[in-house]
Homo-oligomer: A and B are copies of this chain.
Amino acid sequence: MAGRKKLNVGMVGYGFMGRTHSNAFGKVNRFFDLDYEPVLKAVCGRDKEKVESFAKTWNYQSSETDWRKLVERSDIDLVDIAAPNDTHAEIAVAAAAAGKMVMCEKPLGRNAAESAKMTEAVERAKVPNMVWYNYRRVPAVTLAKQLIDEGRLGRIYHYRAKFLQDWTISKDLPQGGTGLWRLDAGVAGSGVTGDLLAHCIDTALWLNGGIDKVTAMTETFVKERMHNLTGKVEPVGIDDASLFLARFANGSLASFEATRYARGHKALYTFEINGEHASIFWDLHDLHRLQYFDHRDQGIVRGWRSLHITDGDHPYMAHWWVPGLQIGYEHTFVHQVADFLDGLASGKAAAPTFQDALATDRVTDAVLRSAKNGKWEQP
């Protein structure tokens, strides 16, 4: 441990995601034995007072109010982007050009075109890069990947995923500005498609391979909202709900849905995959469980197994507490940092890279195209 290499982190953004990333960088070496140790060198945000307060709370050594300065600092090894979507491309391209490693909150860009530029930039600069699709690192989801890779499911017939929230149902909710930029199409790029559906797609591409084509439908239920930055009632440009059917390259059929208008669900991301021999179901509201059905079990005692993913032989869990004691949402970010640092040590990039995230954005673009033109579209 004495010999851990320092990795100087410069973070852009201090909102919700700034907190999850900072927590992860700060905790990772307590629980994982790694060759690298992140050092919270600087955090950057436009509001000087807020960013300094954040720096104090999270033990950053310094703060900046201009991300260009951060990117230029010679004492920064890694730029982590946790600011709103409209900042991702410019910062990532500049950081790569400056030879920094780049981590970026999802979605990568506001659309595939932006993501392609970002991907090109990090690949040209040959810098390690990663996108924070954190749900891959829920131990139950990682176990699902392991079970699929072991071939336990056999030929895959069906995949279905949904991400349901209910926080924007009120017409009185404004759009834009701090905490609400996700409702501002200019900043976010899209609505639930890039926000929630992108998570579903990232997991699906990882677990089930490529998507061949999609047919989609979107809706904006509340057409106008007060805009926080202009003070005026303005049209809402984002999609409130987005659904699509898909065919995967492996021949399986799929159904995807994301919405912020599903009363009773706060962050209900679920997926199910049905194979010839076995099926898997997972649910973010009980993220520490995985449902598994194996048809090869003896008939009279065959049933869905509720796996409590807290054992030492479950992915990541040996690093935490003892069997029976669950971890939560924030731990997925710690796992992602641990894997990224492991990737640095081994020289083998940890997924999802920018390239992987670009594939997701190509699907979300196809979804939005199909929703507009009513046709099946290829990503």
Taking beta carbons and an 8 Å cutoff, which residues of A are in contact with B? 1-2, 16, 19-20, 22-23, 26-27, 29-30, 53, 56-58, 143, 146-147, 153, 157-158, 160, 162, 164-167, 169, 215-217, 219, 221, 241, 243-245, 247, 251, 253, 255, 257, 259, 261-268, 274-279, 284-289, 292-295, 297, 299-308, 310-311, 313-314, 320-331, 374-376
Residues of B contacting A253 with CB < 8 Å? 217, 219, 241, 243, 259
* Contact between chains at A302 and B305 (CB < 8 Å): yes
**8 closest pairs, A vs B, by CB?**
A267-B324, A266-B324, A264-B293, A303-B305, A328-B328, A325-B329, A303-B307, A157-B261
Q: Is the CB of B158 within 8 A of A293?
A: no
Residues of B within 8 A of A251 (CB): 219, 221
Query: Which residues from chain B contact A297 at a C-beta distance below 8 Å?
Result: 305
Asked if residues B323 and A267 are in contact (CB atoms below 8 Å), the reply is yes
A243→B274 CA distance, assembly (Å): 15
Measured in the bound complex, the distance between the Cα atoms of B276 and A69 in whole Å is: 46
A263 interface neighbour in B165, B167, B295, Cβ under 8 Å: B295
Q: Min CB distance, A167 to chain B, in Å?
A: 7
Residue of B nearest to A272 (CB): B262
- For A153, what are the chain B residues with a Cβ–Cβ distance below 8 Å? 263
A279 proximity list for chain B (CB < 8 A)? 262-265
A257-B255, A324-B285, A327-B330 are contacts. A29–B1 as well, Cβ < 8 Å?
A: no
B328–A53 CB distance below 8 A: no
